[in-house]
Structure 1
Amino acid sequence: MRAHTTRIFSVFPLPLAAGLGLLTPVFFFHAVRHALPLGYAGMFAQMAGQIAAANFALPLDIPRYGPGGIPFVYPPFGHYLFAIYLKLGLSPWAYLRLIPPVFGLAALIPFYFLAQELTGIRWGGLAALLLAFTAPSVFSIHIWSAGVVRGLALTLCLAGLLFYLRALRQPVRDVIVWAGICLGLLLSTHLLYTLFAALVGLAFLLAEWQPRRILTALGILGLALLIASPWLGTVIARHGFESLWMAAASHRNADFLSLLWRDVGGAMNYLWQNLSYVTRNGFLAVLSLPSLLLLLLRRQFHLPLAFLFSLTMGEASFFPVLLAAMMAGVFVEWLAGRCSGRAAQWSAAALLTVLVLLGVGKNLSEIIRYEPEIDVYSLQMSKFVRQETDPAQTYLYIGKINEAEWFPYLLERTPVFAPWGSEWKGEYAEQLQILIDLRACQMNKDWPCIETLLAAKDAYPDLLIAPNQRWLFQQIKETHAWQVIYENERYQVWGRR
């Protein structure tokens, strides 16, 4: 029995097991607490439903989002998994609540082993897991409902990088194949994580530099492209390469290179702004930034280079945090090992544990306050719109941006403004700014401001969907252009007179 237990923990280390045990209740807390999922994933749910309805044929377009519909060029692997579940006749809400935490737990495994492969840490890996996956930027993107795609993408990304690094160090066929499979599936799941994997992969190649390793990296790249080729070939033949390029360049991903070319000071400020995602948690910063110097002194350049490259990404709220948490784990383990004498070791361990727990506690204090964007009133209002209004009608939603993402899916109607999916049309920045301006009008309790925005954008919605707020009701009513056609405790739906 003892030998069997030893074999288990040689494959599944105790720090990783502890991390899984501690984070499982954190990941599933809201899934059990709420009947509806956190965050937003309306477009993901609609795409999965389309695939299921088409008997797994890849649809040509995604109606309503964009706005007005967009080509179906989104990497579909995560949506196909969702569609298999829907094909069984099951409700999408359980999948959107429960599967992101499952993918989140799966991501812990390659995260731990990648950190260990890079730095040799063991119990420092537990600190890294806790600091990384309780970070609100990581939690909200991967454990909320969008984790049905993003959580899967993170798991594939970390697993692909783990096998890639091992292949660079020892180009064994099985390891190369697994690296290619994981990265190919990643390319078929989410382009942003593919970009991150490419940047980190370049950092690893530079840190492990030997000319022969270029061939290994190119071999893995070729296999990944082969794995993704059924999807890539289909979308390029249907929609051209331009849609993929517009999506890859959206979300500010090209901003750093653009600034570097014309404004070096602006580029440095861009990096500093992205670094703030790490420094806003002082405990993570205190533990990770000294480790940056430590790794440079050790001539272990993998994480410092990868961290620097991640700061150049447009959507950099969580990628640097993941790498900073790995570096924090290195510093925790190094500092604990520097102490001599039992009393000093226990004191150092206690101090480091307190710092880690304070950092984690700060994160948890935010996580515990999360609430779903939609509720039963959202579903009731959506049912009315689907059943009692013309499918050709358009609408304007006045409210929170994350909440608004659900409504093209729930209402089965087209919004006049929608940033979700607009990256595939090259309109993401414009559409997002419109919603930000619309939200500002609402926060200022200024309906004429909203009317001015609609006129400026030549938008004429047939329906208004608004929060049930007295100031808004009074101002819209006074225009004599709209009448309430539905109302519940949370929403009012207005139609044109």
Structure 2
Amino acid sequence: MADEYGRSEREESETFSVASIFDEERFWLVVSVLAGSLVVAGYFLNKPYPAYATALFPHMAEVLIENGYRRPEVIPLYTAEGLPFAYPPLMFYVMAVLIDVGIDPLLISRLLPGVAFVLLLVPYFYLSREFLPIRQAGVATVVFATAPQITRWHISGGGAVRSPAVLFLLIGLYVGVRLFKTGDRRWILPGAVLYGLTMLTHPVQMAYFGISYLVLFAAFDRSVRGLLHGAGVALGGAIVGAPWWLYVIRTYGAGTILSASNTHGGLGITELDAVLEAVVLFNDAGFPSEILIASTALAGAVYALTKRRYVLPAWFVVTIITITQVRFAYIPGAMLIGMAVVGAVVPWLAEVVPRRLGRADGETVTTVALAALILSTTWFGALYVTGDPPFEQRNSLGAYVDDDDIEAMEWAARETPPDAQFVVLDNAAEWFPFVADRTSLTVWWGAEWTTQERYERQHALHDDLAACDDAACVNETTEEYDIDPDYVYVDNDRFDDRRSMVEHERYELAYANDGVTVFRVTD
């Protein structure tokens, strides 16, 4: 039987069932995990080598194995003096065990970040549910699963450490919300354990854990009880994380941790113009998608303020001011996007579209809008990680090495003396010691655990040599930094004037393939 609008009871029932699925937590969990999995699969299937700096971490895992799972004081081959083994060690032990049982280190670096990334979407959804209704939390999680600012740093090679740290962080933040909302001290122990695990995994996530707990304390339980509960989590976490910070202080001194905290932009922004720039542009939003997503998050913050919902905007701004890495701002930022899109944009469409078209009801428009949002964000996220998104920089998730690099490094492992030292003129410097088992003088990744001065020197050395395009520049730069390499490793695509190296009396051609040329220093 049809009603006055011509709809049968069956059609009415089907419309209701389709729309109601968006109010199911299980639906959004499945959709979010599926979206994240498709993004990870797109990256894995299209990237034979992990994106960005990657090789230091499996190298450290192999050093652990060689040292009988005891932490050495020095990571060899990275710079002439080596690097302190001062990183939080948990994931290097995990990687060492995986390598020890026969899993290829390259496969671990490609797959482990993505697996951890998909897992962390589950606690992110439940954390979002503490602040948002189901649909808003679901959209926030889909955005978090697909946004380039998030995926770029968590599924690439360095995500082998970052993603597990964020997994511990997000579970810990959910525990923190429950702790401060309910005042139930039973949440203190899991909070402390998770804080300790975060501390043992990544120092920046550790810092953000503490900063966020201060925000949650101020938002939900500004009392002596809340202060004591937060202190209990901090103290317990410090105990769980003691195997790291005690080792670093005893072996290298407390200054090592302080020095590392001042690199990569440090932990705070103090100048007013820098604060305003960070809030408006999210520090480094440079691609069209990043600007769009950042603008939506900022609009979400304004929308939340108009609704007198202050916690997420405050958390968002505190994050931007205290943590310079933009990806952290999207923990509250994606929630603000979900709030704005589902709370304002979709209802506006549901009101305007039927009035304009005259043949669609609001619930249908809402269903179509949410489905379109899920499909479009997943589609774009997957395209982004494959390296070919529309309107974006094509090298969106580029690897620092290719087959020619690996071939040249394997030649170095076979044909050069074990104590040979190399100047590597591009980002392949980070991979070189891991593959070639020879020293790279120009690597700067990991130098933050030495001193601020040495970190800045290594970073400048790497950048200055990477900018060279002829023999004269290489000579001047190596002399300026007082380094004396045995070989110079050149990326053919980046180095314009290889002939100047071939014709220079200081250099002798030692090896070449289509992508790489290696010169022996004759003097």
Fold shared, TM-score > 0.5 on shorter chain: yes
| 2:482 alignment counterpart | 458
Is residue 491 of structure 1 aligned with residue 516 of structure 2? yes
Cα deviations by residue, 1:292-324 (Å, 9 ceiling, x for unpaired): 123224443322122112212464231123332
Is residue 380 of structure 1 aligned with residue 407 of structure 2? yes
- Taking a change above 3 Å as real, the CA distance of residues 479 and 127 of structure 1, as seen in their structure-2 partners, is same
Inter-partner Cα distance in structure 1 for 2:207 and 2:217: 15
| 1:250 alignment counterpart | 263
| 1:205 alignment counterpart | 217
Instruction: Tell me whether 228-237 or 242-251 shows the greater mean CA deviation.
Output: 228-237
Q: Identity percentage over the alignment? A: 22
Letter in 1 for 2:506: A
Count of residues in correspondence between the two structures:
478
Instruction: Tell me whether 486-495 or 10-19 shows the greater mean CA deviation.
Output: 10-19
Inter-partner Cα distance in structure 2 for 1:488 and 1:440: 21
Map 1:174-193 onto structure 2 (within 5 A): 174-193=186-205
Instruction: Tell me whether 166-175 or 332-341 shows the greater mean CA deviation.
Output: 332-341
Shift of the alpha carbon at 1:216?
0.9
- Taking a change above 3 Å as real, the CA distance of residues 285 and 148 of structure 1, as seen in their structure-2 partners, is closer
Map 1:64-463 onto structure 2 (within 5 A): 64-66=77-79, 68-119=81-132, 121-211=133-223, 212-254=225-267, 256-257=269-270, 260=271, 264-275=272-283, 277=285, 280-281=288-289, 282-313=291-322, 315-335=324-344, 336=346, 343-351=361-369, 354=372, 358=376, 361-369=379-387, 370-399=397-426, 401=427, 403-425=428-450, 426=452, 427-441=454-468, 445-463=469-487
Inter-partner Cα distance in structure 1 for 2:439 and 2:284: 37
| 1:473 alignment counterpart | 498
Shift of the alpha carbon at 1:68?
2.5
Q: Any conservation in 2 of the 1:283–1:359 contact (CA below 8 Å)?
A: no
Query: Normalized against structure 1, the TM-score is what?
Result: 0.88
- Give unmatched runs, 5+ long, in structure 1: 1-8
Cα deviations by residue, 1:75-132 (Å, 9 ceiling, x for unpaired): 001111111111113321121111111101111011111111122x322233222322
- Taking a change above 3 Å as real, the CA distance of residues 98 and 265 of structure 1, as seen in their structure-2 partners, is closer
Q: Any conservation in 2 of the 1:464–1:495 contact (CA below 8 Å)?
A: yes
Q: Secondary structure at the match of 1:396?
A: strand
Instruction: Tell me whether 130-139 or 9-18 shows the greater mean CA deviation.
Output: 9-18
Q: Any conservation in 2 of the 1:291–1:330 contact (CA below 8 Å)?
A: yes
1:56 aligned to 55, 69, 73, which one?
Answer: 69
- Give unmatched runs, 5+ long, in structure 2: 1-21, 355-359, 388-396
Shift of the alpha carbon at 1:290?
2.5
Letter in 2 for 1:291: G
- Taking a change above 3 Å as real, the CA distance of residues 484 and 315 of structure 1, as seen in their structure-2 partners, is farther
Letter in 2 for 1:161: L
Shift of the alpha carbon at 1:437?
2.8
- Taking a change above 3 Å as real, the CA distance of residues 429 and 17 of structure 1, as seen in their structure-2 partners, is same
Shift of the alpha carbon at 1:483?
0.9
Structure with the greater alpha carbon radius of gyration: 2
- Taking a change above 3 Å as real, the CA distance of residues 223 and 417 of structure 1, as seen in their structure-2 partners, is same
Q: Any conservation in 2 of the 1:277–1:318 contact (CA below 8 Å)?
A: no
- Taking a change above 3 Å as real, the CA distance of residues 297 and 12 of structure 1, as seen in their structure-2 partners, is closer
- Taking a change above 3 Å as real, the CA distance of residues 404 and 133 of structure 1, as seen in their structure-2 partners, is farther
Shift of the alpha carbon at 1:49?
0.9
RMSD: 2.7
Cα deviations by residue, 1:341-380 (Å, 9 ceiling, x for unpaired): 9813433554465466555555444322145332333222
Inter-partner Cα distance in structure 1 for 2:324 and 2:288: 16
Q: Any conservation in 2 of the 1:278–1:320 contact (CA below 8 Å)?
A: no
What stretches of structure 1 move > 6 A for 4+ residues in a row?
9-12
Q: Any conservation in 2 of the 1:485–1:494 contact (CA below 8 Å)?
A: yes
Inter-partner Cα distance in structure 2 for 1:297 and 1:67: 57
Inter-partner Cα distance in structure 2 for 1:270 and 1:436: 25
